[in-house]
């Protein structure tokens, strides 16, 4: 339910009053249905509560709501509350702004009224910080409060979530404080509105019509983010264009920042390191050059004159052809600190990416970021965070956690996940990513003994860092349902929820998302949740089982391409990663191979370094295993590969069967869309299986066991497939 719908005009003038009314009603209903079922409303649908007992309970509590205070955020709270209550209960509530003794729902900052303060203790308020909230039931009333208006907005969304997912709202006593301070989305949006690795249409930033035209989408985007606690966004691609830093574009960025501010969202920009050369014709972008420093200082001042609460810069430097400090023989720290000095007077920060690897460097790509960054630990300014991808290669369907986590105790490390499914089926496959995110966050680095999880590294608790955060590369575009695949919205949702509280289970996240986005029907939720929870493992099976990785086709990364070996940079070729030969398959990263395993702490190393005991999820990640290597199942490696690929395909068939059972529970449009996409997913799973097994068979020289479906095309056929216009590339 977008809050500011364009209103429906009565254009039926010649018919009788009753007919007119009926028609109008139908028209409004039709509009509502179309609007409601195309996915645009995300998890903020606010559909009528169908359980009469609950509805009665809710109505009792909602008799007389009041929202205290006055700010742009308070206005947002009022509008959201009124719209949600109307949707959920069917009643139009008047949300008052002054407190009376009869108010049953009191919403506002703790200092907004003398009445609110005594209802919560000083200790509780202290615990909340700036963004935490309290939902508390007192005799005859419920309060939603926090120390800031934005905290109250978060509290409201939590309260609405309870109703949307049919939870009781009596006797509430909830204190919720975010685990991470920066909860972010990185848009890889180009200024021409294409989206790098975007599979949901074009960029939602309509640069050409900004700043004059404010698309309703910006507002609904901000609402959606606030509802899951996301409080920061970078608008532009990490492969940056310096033009975003020019006055004409800063005006546009300001317009977006103004829209987002009431929702508690700060704007960041990506900074192209060579901008002083490109925009001001300086001869150099050397971070130690005085003119360069002055240029960035002035640029920062200029940006803050437009956007006083500008978050800062996100930088990809000396990676995949991007300019950076190493072009001038300076370190990443010297580059980051120069920019950090420019934004420091304004309380801005610099987020410097650790995703670096160089074509000239013959060392295993897995090791390069660690080699570059660990020596710089302690050399970054206080307002710099280093942003590390979850794994050392690149957002694979499964990767061991990045060895940098735990290895730079003096530097706040920020987590970078990829929400857009570049390597995970793009917009045709249904894959719920919370289990992937959780697997990484829960992994133990052993940096300070047992229970030094990645989550504790990034929340700053392991090493006492004030700055901390987590980001996701956004999967959002102009598609009516925002994310391409109707089920991909769940990944945006999961990113926000886990950044708020990484202790939430994948199960809980899937359940709340399904209830709000689809239906509270218990049987539907149960079955569909199972599909979601298994979906990532299913994809690993038919795409990259047993630790295989980066065997996608070139460039667009759509579909299999394990045979690719002709790209300029060795580490861009899939053959670099699987190393299949007549003896076996897999990348030896142990002490007899690239030694990448030595970048992990000894307790972690122990889990993986012995081929006989290595967790088989990572077997081919760390070992070159022989085709006849005996797996824990008793099968040979070759037979296990055949088994995994076929299990993956069979499991997609299971997903289809389970989904078909939901037909009566789901609206027609989304049911059909998901059904069609599952058909595509099955075809793609078979394609992956057939192409990979046929190709690896040229090395193993063993048959695909006859109990499995045999490939119906030749390897040459799969090799010949081309997708020149695949999206996101």
Contact positions vs ligand BDP (CB under 6 A): 196-197, 238-239, 316, 320, 355, 394-395, 422
Decide whether 149 or 422 has the Cβ nearer to ligand BDP: 422
What 3 state SS string does 43-85 have? CCCCCCCCCHHHHHHHHHHHCCEEECCCCHHHHHHHHHHHHHH
The residue annotated as part of the active site, out of 320, 598, 658, 667, is 320
Minimum CB distance to ligand BDP, residue 353 (Å): 7
Catalytic pick from 41, 80, 149, 422?
A: 422
Strands (E) located in 382-532: 384-389, 413-418, 469-473
User: Can you tell me the distance from the alpha carbon of 549 to that of 576, in angstroms, rounded to the nearest whole number?
Assistant: 10
Give the nearer residue to ligand BDP in terms of CB position, either 218 or 395.
395
Which residue matches tokens 């449009």? 669
Q: Give 77 or 552: the residue with its C-beta nearer to ligand BDP.
A: 552
DSSP structure string for 442-476: T-B--BTBTT-BHHHHHTSTTTT-S--EEEEE---
Which residue in 342, 349, 400, 40 sits closest to 221, CA to CA? 40
Please provide the DSSP assignment of 146-179 as one string.
ESSHHHHHHHHHHHHHHHHTT---TT-EEEE--S
Report in angstroms how near the CB of residue 419 gets to ligand BDP at its nearest: 13
DSSP code for 485: S
Least distance in angstroms from the C-beta of 238 to ligand BDP: 5
Find out whether 195 and 187 touch, Cβ atoms under 8 Å: yes
Between 241 and 675, CB nearer to ligand BDP: 241
Tell me which of 131, 394, 459, 537 is the catalytic residue. Answer: 394
CA 53 to centroid of chain Cα atoms: 36
Query: What are the residues facing 471 on neighbouring strands?
Result: 184, 416
Spatial distance between the Cα atoms of 378 and 350, rounded to a whole number of angstroms: 15
What sign results for the dihedral spanned by CA atoms 493, 496, 497, 502? Answer: positive
Strand partners of residue 584: 626
Dihedrals φ, ψ of 387, to 5°? -95, 120
Report the Cα–Cα distance between both ends of the chain, in Å, rounded.
32
Q: How far apart are CA 628 and CA 396, in angstroms?
A: 26
Residues linked to residue 427 through DSSP beta bridges, in sequence order: none
Q: Which is nearer to ligand BDP, 426 or 506 (CB)?
A: 426
CA dihedral (485, 489, 495, 497) in degrees, to 10, reads -150
Between 423 and 638, CB nearer to ligand BDP? 423
Whether 442 is a known active-site residue: answer: no
Write out the H or E segment, with its range, that includes residue 665. Answer: none
Least CB distance from residue 319 to ligand BDP, whole Å?
6
Closest residue to ligand BDP using C-beta atoms = 394
Q: In angstroms, what is the minimal distance from the CB of 272 to ligand BDP?
A: 13
Give the number of other Cβ atoms within 10 Å of residue 28's Cβ.
12
Q: State which residue, 192 or 298, has the beta carbon closest to ligand BDP.
A: 192
Whether the Cβ atoms of residue 172 and residue 142 lie closer than 8 Å to each other: yes
For 58, the token pair is 């809710």
Q: Which helix (H) or strand (E) holds 296?
A: helix 290-306
Compare residues 224 and 314 and give the one whose CB is closer to ligand BDP: 314
* Closest CB to ligand BDP among residues 227, 318: 318
Query: Least distance in Å: CB of 456 to ligand BDP?
Result: 25
Catalytic residues: 320, 394, 422
């Amino acid at each position: 339910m977008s809050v500011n719908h364009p209103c429906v005009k009565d254009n039926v003038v010649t018919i009788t009053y009753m007919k007119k009314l009926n028609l109008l009603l139908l028209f409004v209903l039709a509009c509502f249905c179309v609007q409601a079922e195309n996915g645009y409303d995300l998890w903020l649908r606010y559909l009528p509560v169908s359980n009469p007992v609950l509805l009665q309970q809710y109505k009792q509590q909602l008799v007389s709501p009041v929202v205290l205070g006055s700010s742009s955020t308070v206005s947002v709270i009022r509008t959201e509350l009124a719209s949600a209550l109307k949707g959920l209960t069917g009643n139009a509530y008047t949300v008052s702004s002054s407190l009376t003794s009869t108010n049953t729902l009191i919403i506002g900052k703790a200092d907004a009224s003398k009445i609110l303060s005594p209802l919560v203790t000083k200790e509780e308020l202290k615990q909340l910080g700036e963004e935490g909230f309290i939902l508390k039931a007192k005799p005859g009333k419920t309060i939603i409060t926090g120390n800031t208006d934005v905290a109250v907005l978060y509290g409201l969304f939590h309260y609405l979530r309870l109703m949307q997912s049919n939870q009781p709202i009596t006797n509430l006593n909830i204190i919720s404080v975010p685990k991470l301070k920066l909860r972010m989305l990185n848009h890889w949006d180009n200024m021409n509105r294409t989206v790098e690795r975007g599979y949901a249409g074009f960029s939602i930033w309509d640069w050409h019509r900004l700043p004059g035209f404010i698309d309703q989408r910006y507002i609904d985007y901000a609402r959606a983010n606030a509802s899951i606690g996301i409080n920061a966004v970078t608008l532009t691609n990490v492969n940056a264009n310096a033009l975003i830093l020019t006055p004409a574009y800063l005006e546009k960025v300001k317009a977006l920042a103004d829209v987002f501010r009431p929702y508690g969202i700060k704007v960041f920009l990506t900074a192209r390191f060579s901008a002083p050369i490109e925009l001001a014709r300086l001869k150099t972008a050397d971070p130690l050059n005085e003119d360069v420093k002055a240029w960035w200082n002035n640029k920062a001042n200029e940006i803050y004159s437009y956007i006083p609460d500008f978050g800062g810069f996100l930088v990809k430097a000396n990676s995949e052809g991007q300019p950076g400090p190493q072009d001038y023989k300076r370190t990443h720290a010297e580059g980051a600190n120069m920019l950090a000095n420019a934004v420091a007077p304004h309380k801005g920060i610099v987020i410097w990416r650790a995703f670096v690897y160089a074509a000239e460097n013959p060392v295993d790509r897995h090791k390069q970021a660690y080699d570059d960054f660990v020596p710089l630990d302690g050399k970054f300014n206080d307002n710099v965070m280093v942003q590390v991808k979850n794994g050392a290669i690149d957002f694979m369907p499964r990767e061991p956690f990045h060895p940098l986590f735990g290895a730079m105790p003096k530097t706040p490390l920020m987590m970078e996940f990829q929400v857009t499914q570049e390597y995970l089926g793009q917009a045709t496959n249904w894959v719920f990513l919370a289990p992937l995110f959780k697997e990484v966050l829960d992994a133990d680095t052993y940096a300070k003994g047992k229970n030094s999880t990645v989550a504790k590294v990034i929340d700053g608790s392991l090493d006492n860092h004030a700055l901390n955060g987590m980001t996701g590369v956004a999967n959002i575009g102009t598609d009516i349902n925002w994310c391409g695949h109707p089920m991909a919205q769940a990944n945006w949702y999961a990113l926000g929820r886990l950044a708020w509280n990484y202790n939430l289970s994948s199960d809980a996240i899937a359940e709340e998302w399904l209830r709000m986005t689809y239906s509270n029907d218990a049987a539907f939720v149960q079955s569909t949740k199972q599909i979601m929870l298994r979906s990532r493992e299913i994809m690993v099976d038919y795409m990259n089982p047993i630790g295989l990785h980066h065997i996608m086709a070139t460039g667009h990364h759509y579909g299999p391409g394990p045979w690719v070996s002709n790209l300029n940079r060795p580490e861009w070729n899939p053959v670099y990663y699987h190393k299949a030969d007549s003896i076996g398959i897999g990348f030896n990263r142990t002490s007899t191979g690239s030694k990448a395993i030595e970048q992990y702490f000894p307790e972690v190393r122990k889990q993986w370094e012995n081929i006989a005991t290595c967790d088989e999820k990572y077997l081919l990640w760390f070992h070159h295993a022989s085709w006849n290597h005996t797996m824990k199942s008793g099968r040979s490696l070759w037979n296990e590969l055949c088994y995994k690929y076929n299990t993956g395909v069979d499991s997609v068939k299971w997903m289809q069967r389970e989904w078909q059972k939901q037909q009566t529970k789901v609206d027609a449009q989304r049911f059909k869309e998901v059904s069609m996409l599952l058909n595509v997913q099955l075809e793609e799973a078979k394609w992956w299986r057939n192409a990979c097994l046929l190709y690896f068979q040229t090395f193993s020289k063993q048959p695909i066991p006859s109990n499995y479906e045999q490939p119906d095309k030749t390897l040459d056929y799969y090799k010949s497939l081309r997708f020149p216009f695949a999206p996101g590339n």
